[in-house]
């Protein structure tokens, strides 16, 4: 969609500076870095000429990416992203982010919201630490049909995240990650986010969720449902409830046992506790396989978790018994 009367003055100049910084961080030799604001928009396909109509000007994607807030709201009065947390109060919400700004800022706001309310399990791919949370949730803004009045929703429950966006369907029902054919809802936005390093490629969202969901949540059943709306249901890790237990239950004992450790060690304690919660009754070698932590570290962390009153050993002998969550911790996550 072309808007011939939108001028460069309708865009937020600070966003061009931010965009260049992100592009440089992704590729310091990117050819767009030497372009003016107007040239960048043209090169990114955000200025077009409609040969069927004769109209030429900036596109809706340009407005959503770089437009001033008042420009966006005048052109797309229905545009908004509504993010809710419904862990305790499922009728209303525990927390809310109501976002009506440009997509560059909206991405950061939504990812900050995700970071605040969803855990990010420790994960190594080879020798590189990767954010599973970031991989799984970062593409949610891009995959939306913005010409539709239905608001995009992002709802965090205790055991799952549900997103629902307007859609121009190319099929009906649950999408199989094995044989699906990706269709871009906003190819210009997706391509621009690729230059920012925030988007991999067309179809990468479904593929990445299926690739990493087991490591992230311990479950392997995300759902992508196509119809008049595009709905995604992503299971979230038991880890989030465990972290709540660490910060809330038996706080004095926990702080006494692990309060003085570094964030890195504390993260590994949560990783091990998550593994124990998902497969109780096992011993150190089993949790080594589950966490990729050295056995010596696991033995040390188990001692700390036992001292904190979070886990216990059950069994008549070390060779036949295993580690379990204490009942008080189990009640927090059931």
DSSP assignment of 257-308 equals: HHTTS-HHHHHHHHHHHHHHHHSTTB-HHHHHHHH---HHHHHHHHHHHHHT
Collect all residues with Cβ–Cβ distance below 8 Å to 253 and sequence separation of at least 6: 307, 308, 309
Say what the pLDDT of residue 142 is. Answer: 67
Helix (H) or strand (E) holding 334: none
In angstroms, how far is CA 96 from the centroid of its own chain? 16
Question: Band of the pLDDT at 201, cuts 50, 70, 90?
Answer: low
Which residues does residue 226 pair with via DSSP β-bridges, in sequence order? 173, 230
- Write down the architecture of domain 239-333 according to CATH: Orthogonal Bundle (1.10)
Q: Is the pLDDT of residue 139 over 50?
A: yes
> Given a cut of 80, is residue 78 above it in pLDDT?
yes
Please give the helix or strand (H or E) that residue 314 lies within, else none: strand 311-314
Cβ(152)–Cβ(100) under 8 Å? no
Estimate the crossing angle of helix 263-278 against helix 239-248, to 10 degrees. 120
pLDDT in tens, 16-53: 999 999 999 999 999 999 999 999 999 999 999 988 88
Average pLDDT in the 241-250 region? 51
pTM of the model: 0.71
Distance CA 151, CA 148 (A): 8
Task: Please give the pLDDT value at position 215.
Answer: 82
Residue 114 Cα distances to 87, 109, 203, 253, 291, angstroms? 14, 9, 22, 29, 23
If one counts every other C-beta atom within 10 angstroms of the C-beta of residue 146, the result is 20
308 touches 270 (CB < 8 A): no
What is the architecture of the domain spanning 81-235?
Answer: 2-Layer Sandwich (3.30)
Q: Taking residues 286-301, what's their average pLDDT?
A: 89
How far the first Cα of the chain sits from its last, in Å, is: 49
Residue 100 pLDDT:
93
Specify which of 44-48, 114-118, 129-133, 135-139 reaches the highest per-range mean pLDDT. Answer: 44-48
Confidence of residue 159 (pLDDT cuts 50, 70, 90): confident
pLDDT, tens digit (0-9, with 9 covering 90-100), for 178-192: 777 666 667 888 889
Does an H or E element contain 164, and which?
Answer: strand 160-166
pLDDT of residue 46: 97
Task: Note the pLDDT of residue 145.
Answer: 72
Contact 75, 105 (CB under 8 A): no
Ordered by start, the domain boundaries in the chain are 2-75, 81-235, 239-333
Pairing type for strands 311-314 and 152-156 reads unpaired
Give ∠ CA 130-131-135 in degrees, rounded to 5.
105
Cα 311 from chain centre: 30
Q: Select from 266, 263, 254 the least CA-distant residue to 326.
A: 254
């Amino acid at each position: 969609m072309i808007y011939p009367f939108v001028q460069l003055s309708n865009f937020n100049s600070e966003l061009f500076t931010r965009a260049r910084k992100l592009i440089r961080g992704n590729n310091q030799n990117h050819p767009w870095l030497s372009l003016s604001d107007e040239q960048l928009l043209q090169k990114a396909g955000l200025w077009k000429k409609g040969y069927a109509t004769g109209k030429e000007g900036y596109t809706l994607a340009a407005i959503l990416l770089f437009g001033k807030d008042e420009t966006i709201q005048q052109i797309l009065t229905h545009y908004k992203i509504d993010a809710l947390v419904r862990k305790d109060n499922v009728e209303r919400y525990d927390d809310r982010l109501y976002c009506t700004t440009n997509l560059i800022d909206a991405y950061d706001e939504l990812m900050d919201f995700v970071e605040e309310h969803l855990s990010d399990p420790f994960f190594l791919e080879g020798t590189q630490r990767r954010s599973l949370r970031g991989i799984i949730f970062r593409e949610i803004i891009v995959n939306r049909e913005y010409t539709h009045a239905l608001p995009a929703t992002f709802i965090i429950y205790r055991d799952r995240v549900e997103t629902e966006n307007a859609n121009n369907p190319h099929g009906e029902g649950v999408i199989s990650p094995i044989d699906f054919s990706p269709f871009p809802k906003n190819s210009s936005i997706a391509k621009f986010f690729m230059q920012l390093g925030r988007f991999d490629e067309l179809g990468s969202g479904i593929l990445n969720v299926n690739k990493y969901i087991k490591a992230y949540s311990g479950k392997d059943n995300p759902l992508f449902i196509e119809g008049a709306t595009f709905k995604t249901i992503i299971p979230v890790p038991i880890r989030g409830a465990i972290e709540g237990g660490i910060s809330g239950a038996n706080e004095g004992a926990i702080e006494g046992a692990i309060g003085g450790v570094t964030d890195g060690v504390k993260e590994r304690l949560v990783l091990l506790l998550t593994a124990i919660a998902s497969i109780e009754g096992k011993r150190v070698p089993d949790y080594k396989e589950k966490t990729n932590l050295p056995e010596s570290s696991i033995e040390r962390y188990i001692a700390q978790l036992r001292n904190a009153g979070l886990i216990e050993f059950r069994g008549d002998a070390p060779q036949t018994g295993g580690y379990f969550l204490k009942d008080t911790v189990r009640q927090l996550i059931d």
